[in-house]
Structure 1
Amino acid sequence: MIVGIGTDLCDVRRIAATLERRGERFAEKVLGPNEIEVWRRRTRLNATRGLRYLATRFAAKEAFSKAIGLGMRLPMWWNRCEVVNAPGGRPQIRLHGELADWFDQRRLQAHVTLTDEGDMAAAFVIVEQTSPP
């Protein structure tokens, strides 16, 4: 049963401006431990790819927070939610700490899709309950 749907559209230029002002601290606030390594690697190879990666993850976390109905308040926090790739490349949500516990107690499962084109990045998240709590 679907319990929440969230979407977010993010202007990549806005992420670039924030990154310019705040530096790597901004990425460290938004990205989880696995994501930060991927972001650093992509940024070293191609700054634009790194920026788009950060923007899509930002959009995904916004969409996820909407889908679970919490917004950005505890137990939801940026780096407690990661978007990682499954072995075949499909993006999936990985949660940490209190957020993972909160999510598991409710027997929830999240599905995410990401895209970026030009100056825009978008994410769509569906959260479903796998069985009654």
Structure 2
Amino acid sequence: MIYGIGTDVCDIRRIADTLQRRGERFAEKVLGPHEIEVFRERRARVDARGIAYLATRFSAKEAFSKAIGLGLRMPMTWRDCEIVKAASGKPEIRLHGELKAWFEAKGLQAHVSVSDETDYATSFVVVETRGAGPA
């Protein structure tokens, strides 16, 4: 059964402007431990790729916070929600700390899709109760 749905569109130019003003501190506030490593690797190769990566993660976390109905209130935090890539390339949500405990206690599972183009990143998240799915 669907618990919640969230979507978000992010202007990549705004993320670039924020990075320029605040430096990497902005990325460190938004990204979890694995994500910050990927961000730095991508940005070192091609700056725009790193910025697009940050924008998709920002967008996905916004969509996830909407799908779980908390917004950015505890236990939802930027860094406790990571968007990682499975071996297949499919994006997945990895949770940490209090957010992970809260999510598991409710018996939830999440599905995420992210996409970006030159100026925009978008994400869509569906959260459902465990065991729900095709019959």
Common fold: TM-score over 0.5: yes
Shift of residue 99, structure 1, vs aligned partner: 0.1
Superposed, 1:47-86 pairs within 5 Å as 47-86=47-86
Relative to the length of structure 2, the TM-score reads 0.96
Is the partner of 1:78 in helix, strand or coil? coil
Matches within 5 A, 1:18-97: 18-97=18-97
Mind listing any 5+ residue stretches in structure 1 that lack a counterpart? none
Amino acid at match of 1:118: T
Q: Does 1:13 align with 2:13?
A: yes
What is the rounded CA distance, in whole Å, between the counterparts of 2:120 and 2:109 in structure 1? 27
TM-score under structure 1 normalisation?
0.97
| Partner in structure 2 of residue 99 of structure 1 | 99
**How many residues are treated as equivalent by the alignment?**
132
Cα distance, 1:131 vs structure 2:
4.8
Q: How big is each residue's C-alpha offset from its partner over 1:40-89, in whole Å with a ceiling of 9 and x where there is no partner?
A: 00000000000000000000000000000000010001010000001111
Q: Which runs of 5 or more residues in structure 2 are unaligned?
A: none
* Matches of 1:43 and 1:27, distance apart in 2: 11
- Percent of paired sites with the same residue: 65
SS state at 2:71 partner: coil
Secondary structure in 2 matching 1:79: coil
Structure 1: which 4+ aligned runs deviate by more than 2 Å?
none
